[in-house]
């Protein structure tokens, strides 16, 4: 049976929607979270973020999650501060971040990120221990997996994919 373009697009939308509602965030986390102690310096935390090519580190005190330190925190709270290389992470982190359990759905996480403006959400177990971080990039990769050929076969140069014409665009 040949589906119309509309029916095919609807089927894809329903497939992604269903997967987003049914897939727990624990399936999207690529690796264990990078964790620093609250008394670590901002410089060491930023070095860790750069070394691991991640946009955040989770902050712990006595083994419990107490905050999240992100690229946004660096830009908003660190860059122009005096003594920024010796600042403690605890002084500039986002304290008591919103968290999700590992069985939260991707759809719920995506809603949280969209509504509240988060790019990273710590995932914690029932004891409050950080077991992962879900990022916007993780969700993008999840969605891309539904359209591997369509997305991965696009030309690297958008100008070639969408040439401009005299009559607009």
**Is 163 inside a domain boundary?**
no
- The domain tally of the chain equals 1
**Is 20 inside a domain boundary?**
yes
**Is 167 inside a domain boundary?**
no
**Is 160 inside a domain boundary?**
no
Residue 16 to residue 158: CA distance in whole angstroms? 25
CATH number at residue 62: 3.10.580.10
Kindly give the residue spans of alpha helices, DSSP state H, lying in the chain.
Answer: 5-22, 42-52, 71-73, 89-92, 106-116, 136-144, 148-152, 158-161
Going residue by residue through the chain, which has 169 residues, state the pLDDT in tens, using 9 for 90 and above: 555 544 555 566 787 778 888 888 888 877 788 999 999 999 999 999 999 999 999 999 998 999 999 999 998 888 777 777 788 999 999 999 999 999 999 999 999 999 999 999 999 999 888 999 999 999 988 888 877 676 666 667 666 656 666 655 5
**Is 12 inside a domain boundary?**
yes
Q: Count how many Cα atoms sit within 13 Å of the Cα of residue 72 in the half-sphere of its side chain.
A: 6
- Residue 102's domain spans which residues? 5-146
**Is 134 inside a domain boundary?**
yes
**Is 100 inside a domain boundary?**
yes
Contact between residue 107 and residue 19 where contact means Cβ atoms under 8 Å apart: no
């Amino acid at each position: 049976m040949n589906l119309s373009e509309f029916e095919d697009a609807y089927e894809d939308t329903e497939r992604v929607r269903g997967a987003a509602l049914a897939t727990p965030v624990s399936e999207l986390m690529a690796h264990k979270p990078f964790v620093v102690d609250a008394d670590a310096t901002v410089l060491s935390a930023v070095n860790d973020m750069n070394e691991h090519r991640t946009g955040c580190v989770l902050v712990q005190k006595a083994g419990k999650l107490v905050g999240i330190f992100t690229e946004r925190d660096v830009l908003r709270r660190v860059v122009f501060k005096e003594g920024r290389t010796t600042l403690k992470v605890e002084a500039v982190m986002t304290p008591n971040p919103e968290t999700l359990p590992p069985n939260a759905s991707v759809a719920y996480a995506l809603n949280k990120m969209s509504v509240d403006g988060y790019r990273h959400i710590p995932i914690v177990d029932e004891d409050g221990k950080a077991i992962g971080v879900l990022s916007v990039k993780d969700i993008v990769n999840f969605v891309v997996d539904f359209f591997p050929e369509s997305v991965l076969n696009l030309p690297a140069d958008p100008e070639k994919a969408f040439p401009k014409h005299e009559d607009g665009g």
